[in-house]
Amino acid sequence: MAFESLPPGLPPGRPVTPAPEFTDERWAGRPVLWVSDEPVAGCGELWMRLYEQREETGLYPLMLETLLGAPERPWHAGEFGHVPVRAVDALDAGEVLRHWWEPWPEPWPGLADAGAERSDPDAAARALARRFSSGGDRLIGLVPAARGADTLAECGWRGRLGRSHDAGRVAAVVRSWEERFGARVVMAGPDTLDLSVAAPPRTPEHARRVAAEHLAFRPDYFDLDDLDAYAEELVDDAYWAFLWHWWD
Protein backbone atom coordinates (compact mmCIF):
# COMPACT_ATOMS: atom_id res chain seq x y z
CA MET A 1 0.00 0.00 0.00
CA ALA A 2 1.22 3.49 -0.84
CA PHE A 3 0.98 4.82 2.71
CA GLU A 4 2.42 1.88 4.64
CA SER A 5 5.93 3.36 4.51
CA LEU A 6 5.95 7.13 4.88
CA PRO A 7 8.97 9.46 4.86
CA PRO A 8 10.43 10.18 8.31
CA GLY A 9 9.84 13.48 10.05
CA LEU A 10 6.22 13.96 9.04
CA PRO A 11 3.79 15.74 11.36
CA PRO A 12 0.81 13.76 12.68
CA GLY A 13 -1.53 12.88 9.84
CA ARG A 14 -3.53 10.12 8.22
CA PRO A 15 -4.53 8.59 4.88
CA VAL A 16 -7.91 9.80 3.65
CA THR A 17 -10.45 7.92 1.57
CA PRO A 18 -12.83 9.72 -0.80
CA ALA A 19 -16.35 10.09 0.55
CA PRO A 20 -18.72 7.72 -1.31
CA GLU A 21 -20.69 10.53 -2.94
CA PHE A 22 -17.55 11.87 -4.62
CA THR A 23 -16.12 8.75 -6.24
CA ASP A 24 -17.07 5.70 -8.27
CA GLU A 25 -17.95 2.66 -6.16
CA ARG A 26 -14.98 0.85 -7.74
CA TRP A 27 -12.65 3.07 -5.72
CA ALA A 28 -14.63 3.11 -2.47
CA GLY A 29 -12.48 2.48 0.58
CA ARG A 30 -9.22 3.20 -1.24
CA PRO A 31 -7.04 5.84 0.47
CA VAL A 32 -5.69 8.18 -2.20
CA LEU A 33 -4.18 11.00 -0.13
CA TRP A 34 -2.23 11.36 3.11
CA VAL A 35 -2.95 14.64 4.91
CA SER A 36 -1.43 16.26 7.99
CA ASP A 37 -3.87 16.64 10.88
CA GLU A 38 -3.09 20.34 11.31
CA PRO A 39 -1.54 23.13 9.22
CA VAL A 40 2.24 22.96 9.28
CA ALA A 41 4.36 25.91 10.36
CA GLY A 42 7.06 26.60 7.80
CA CYS A 43 5.32 24.26 5.39
CA GLY A 44 7.54 25.36 2.51
CA GLU A 45 10.62 23.78 4.05
CA LEU A 46 8.82 20.47 4.61
CA TRP A 47 7.35 20.58 1.11
CA MET A 48 10.81 21.06 -0.40
CA ARG A 49 12.25 18.13 1.53
CA LEU A 50 9.39 15.86 0.48
CA TYR A 51 9.67 17.12 -3.11
CA GLU A 52 13.36 16.17 -3.22
CA GLN A 53 12.47 12.69 -1.92
CA ARG A 54 9.54 12.08 -4.27
CA GLU A 55 11.31 9.66 -6.63
CA GLU A 56 12.52 7.57 -3.70
CA THR A 57 9.20 7.56 -1.83
CA GLY A 58 6.82 7.49 -4.79
CA LEU A 59 4.83 10.23 -3.04
CA TYR A 60 4.40 13.72 -4.50
CA PRO A 61 3.84 16.49 -1.93
CA LEU A 62 1.18 19.17 -2.05
CA MET A 63 0.55 22.20 0.09
CA LEU A 64 -3.18 22.13 0.74
CA GLU A 65 -5.49 25.04 1.48
CA THR A 66 -8.84 24.43 3.16
CA LEU A 67 -12.27 25.94 2.79
CA LEU A 68 -12.52 29.23 4.64
CA GLY A 69 -14.36 28.71 7.92
CA ALA A 70 -14.43 24.90 7.53
CA PRO A 71 -10.89 23.58 8.05
CA GLU A 72 -11.98 19.95 7.69
CA ARG A 73 -13.12 20.62 4.12
CA PRO A 74 -12.38 19.34 1.59
CA TRP A 75 -9.36 17.18 2.49
CA HIS A 76 -10.16 15.68 5.89
CA ALA A 77 -13.82 15.35 4.88
CA GLY A 78 -12.90 13.30 1.81
CA GLU A 79 -14.57 15.71 -0.61
CA PHE A 80 -12.63 14.46 -3.61
CA GLY A 81 -12.73 11.46 -5.90
CA HIS A 82 -10.24 9.33 -7.84
CA VAL A 83 -9.30 9.03 -11.51
CA PRO A 84 -6.74 6.33 -12.40
CA VAL A 85 -3.60 7.67 -14.04
CA ARG A 86 -4.09 5.25 -16.93
CA ALA A 87 -7.26 7.17 -17.80
CA VAL A 88 -5.20 10.36 -18.11
CA ASP A 89 -2.82 8.59 -20.51
CA ALA A 90 -5.67 8.29 -23.02
CA LEU A 91 -6.45 12.02 -23.05
CA ASP A 92 -5.06 14.70 -25.36
CA ALA A 93 -4.56 18.12 -23.73
CA GLY A 94 -5.24 19.99 -26.97
CA GLU A 95 -8.57 18.22 -27.43
CA VAL A 96 -9.54 18.83 -23.80
CA LEU A 97 -8.85 22.55 -24.09
CA ARG A 98 -10.53 22.79 -27.48
CA HIS A 99 -13.69 21.29 -25.94
CA TRP A 100 -13.55 23.70 -23.00
CA TRP A 101 -13.06 26.59 -25.44
CA GLU A 102 -16.32 25.87 -27.33
CA PRO A 103 -18.47 28.47 -25.50
CA TRP A 104 -16.28 31.30 -26.85
CA PRO A 105 -17.09 32.78 -30.30
CA GLU A 106 -13.50 32.89 -31.61
CA PRO A 107 -11.99 29.76 -33.20
CA TRP A 108 -9.80 27.70 -30.89
CA PRO A 109 -6.22 28.88 -31.60
CA GLY A 110 -4.61 25.57 -30.67
CA LEU A 111 -1.91 24.84 -28.14
CA ALA A 112 0.79 27.43 -27.61
CA ASP A 113 4.38 26.58 -28.45
CA ALA A 114 6.64 25.47 -25.63
CA GLY A 115 8.52 28.11 -23.69
CA ALA A 116 11.87 28.80 -25.32
CA GLU A 117 13.91 29.98 -22.33
CA ARG A 118 13.81 27.46 -19.51
CA SER A 119 15.21 27.71 -16.02
CA ASP A 120 15.47 24.72 -13.68
CA PRO A 121 11.87 23.55 -13.00
CA ASP A 122 12.82 22.21 -9.55
CA ALA A 123 14.43 25.52 -8.59
CA ALA A 124 11.30 27.38 -9.74
CA ALA A 125 9.15 25.04 -7.65
CA ARG A 126 11.31 25.59 -4.57
CA ALA A 127 11.15 29.35 -5.04
CA LEU A 128 7.35 29.27 -5.09
CA ALA A 129 7.28 26.98 -2.04
CA ARG A 130 9.41 29.52 -0.12
CA ARG A 131 7.02 32.26 -1.17
CA PHE A 132 4.04 30.33 0.14
CA SER A 133 5.84 29.42 3.34
CA SER A 134 6.03 33.07 4.35
CA GLY A 135 2.33 33.58 3.66
CA GLY A 136 0.82 31.28 6.29
CA ASP A 137 0.59 27.69 7.43
CA ARG A 138 -1.03 25.03 5.23
CA LEU A 139 -1.75 21.35 5.43
CA ILE A 140 0.76 19.02 3.83
CA GLY A 141 -0.51 16.25 1.58
CA LEU A 142 1.19 13.28 -0.06
CA VAL A 143 -0.19 11.53 -3.14
CA PRO A 144 1.14 8.31 -4.71
CA ALA A 145 2.02 9.83 -8.06
CA ALA A 146 5.17 10.35 -10.11
CA ARG A 147 4.33 13.92 -11.17
CA GLY A 148 2.32 16.82 -9.89
CA ALA A 149 -0.29 16.71 -12.64
CA ASP A 150 -1.17 13.15 -11.74
CA THR A 151 -1.85 14.04 -8.11
CA LEU A 152 -4.92 15.94 -9.31
CA ALA A 153 -6.29 12.79 -10.94
CA GLU A 154 -5.29 10.41 -8.16
CA CYS A 155 -7.10 12.45 -5.51
CA GLY A 156 -9.96 13.42 -7.82
CA TRP A 157 -9.40 17.14 -7.27
CA ARG A 158 -12.67 19.06 -7.70
CA GLY A 159 -11.22 22.55 -7.96
CA ARG A 160 -12.22 23.24 -11.54
CA LEU A 161 -15.89 24.20 -11.17
CA GLY A 162 -16.51 21.54 -8.54
CA ARG A 163 -16.52 18.53 -10.87
CA SER A 164 -14.70 15.40 -9.74
CA HIS A 165 -15.07 13.87 -13.19
CA ASP A 166 -12.99 16.73 -14.62
CA ALA A 167 -9.91 15.69 -12.61
CA GLY A 168 -8.49 13.47 -15.33
CA ARG A 169 -8.90 16.15 -17.98
CA VAL A 170 -7.33 18.72 -15.67
CA ALA A 171 -4.40 16.36 -15.14
CA ALA A 172 -3.95 15.97 -18.90
CA VAL A 173 -3.73 19.74 -19.37
CA VAL A 174 -1.35 20.23 -16.45
CA ARG A 175 0.83 17.40 -17.80
CA SER A 176 1.10 19.34 -21.05
CA TRP A 177 2.09 22.48 -19.13
CA GLU A 178 4.71 20.49 -17.26
CA GLU A 179 6.20 19.41 -20.56
CA ARG A 180 5.89 22.69 -22.50
CA PHE A 181 6.49 25.25 -19.75
CA GLY A 182 8.31 23.39 -16.98
CA ALA A 183 5.28 23.81 -14.71
CA ARG A 184 5.18 22.09 -11.32
CA VAL A 185 2.18 21.68 -9.02
CA VAL A 186 2.98 23.21 -5.62
CA MET A 187 -0.35 23.94 -3.91
CA ALA A 188 -4.03 23.11 -4.31
CA GLY A 189 -7.15 24.27 -2.53
CA PRO A 190 -10.87 23.61 -2.78
CA ASP A 191 -11.06 25.91 -5.80
CA THR A 192 -7.46 27.01 -6.34
CA LEU A 193 -4.40 25.61 -8.08
CA ASP A 194 -0.90 27.09 -7.91
CA LEU A 195 1.91 26.18 -10.31
CA SER A 196 5.53 27.25 -10.63
CA VAL A 197 6.61 27.89 -14.22
CA ALA A 198 10.19 27.50 -15.44
CA ALA A 199 9.61 28.51 -19.08
CA PRO A 200 6.90 31.21 -19.19
CA PRO A 201 6.06 33.08 -22.39
CA ARG A 202 8.51 35.89 -23.15
CA THR A 203 6.57 37.82 -25.81
CA PRO A 204 3.03 39.25 -25.93
CA GLU A 205 2.22 37.09 -28.96
CA HIS A 206 3.23 33.88 -27.23
CA ALA A 207 1.53 34.97 -24.03
CA ARG A 208 -1.76 35.50 -25.86
CA ARG A 209 -1.76 31.87 -26.99
CA VAL A 210 -1.05 30.75 -23.44
CA ALA A 211 -3.76 33.08 -22.16
CA ALA A 212 -6.27 31.34 -24.44
CA GLU A 213 -5.42 28.04 -22.75
CA HIS A 214 -5.91 29.63 -19.34
CA LEU A 215 -9.27 31.06 -20.42
CA ALA A 216 -10.44 27.62 -21.50
CA PHE A 217 -9.13 26.20 -18.21
CA ARG A 218 -10.89 28.74 -15.96
CA PRO A 219 -13.77 30.26 -17.96
CA ASP A 220 -15.48 31.82 -14.94
CA TYR A 221 -12.50 34.00 -14.01
CA PHE A 222 -12.16 36.33 -17.00
CA ASP A 223 -13.61 36.58 -20.50
CA LEU A 224 -12.46 37.04 -24.08
CA ASP A 225 -12.48 40.84 -23.86
CA ASP A 226 -9.83 40.62 -21.11
CA LEU A 227 -7.56 38.22 -22.99
CA ASP A 228 -4.94 40.77 -24.07
CA ALA A 229 -4.71 42.36 -20.64
CA TYR A 230 -4.38 38.94 -19.03
CA ALA A 231 -1.72 37.96 -21.58
CA GLU A 232 0.37 40.96 -20.59
CA GLU A 233 0.47 39.63 -17.02
CA LEU A 234 1.74 36.25 -18.23
CA VAL A 235 4.89 37.58 -19.91
CA ASP A 236 7.89 36.36 -17.84
CA ASP A 237 5.53 35.22 -15.07
CA ALA A 238 6.97 32.22 -13.18
CA TYR A 239 3.80 31.69 -11.11
CA TRP A 240 0.42 30.65 -12.50
CA ALA A 241 -2.44 30.95 -10.02
CA PHE A 242 -5.91 29.62 -10.85
CA LEU A 243 -9.05 30.51 -8.94
CA TRP A 244 -12.61 29.42 -9.52
CA HIS A 245 -15.81 30.53 -7.75
CA TRP A 246 -18.12 27.65 -7.02
CA TRP A 247 -18.19 26.95 -3.27
CA ASP A 248 -21.25 28.10 -1.31
Residue 78 lies in a domain: yes
Number of domains in the chain: 1
Judge whether 7 lies within some domain: no
The pLDDT score that the predictor gives to residue 121 is 97
Q: What is the pLDDT of residues 20-32, one digit of tens each?
A: 888 877 777 889 9
Task: Evaluate whether residue 8 is within a structural domain.
Answer: no
**Domain presence at residue 170:** yes
The span from the CA of 165 to the CA of 32, in Å, is 16
Residue at 6 is within a domain = no
Give the domain range for residue 182: 13-243
Give the pLDDT score at 164: 60
Question: How many CB atoms neighbour CB 82 within 10 A?
Answer: 24
**Residues of the chain below pLDDT 70:** 1, 163-165, 246-248
Query: Is there a domain that residue 208 lies in?
Result: yes
Any domain includes 133: yes
Q: Does 166 fall in a domain?
A: yes
Note the pLDDT of residue 135: 73
Give the per-residue pLDDT at 245.
74
pLDDT value, residue 123: 97
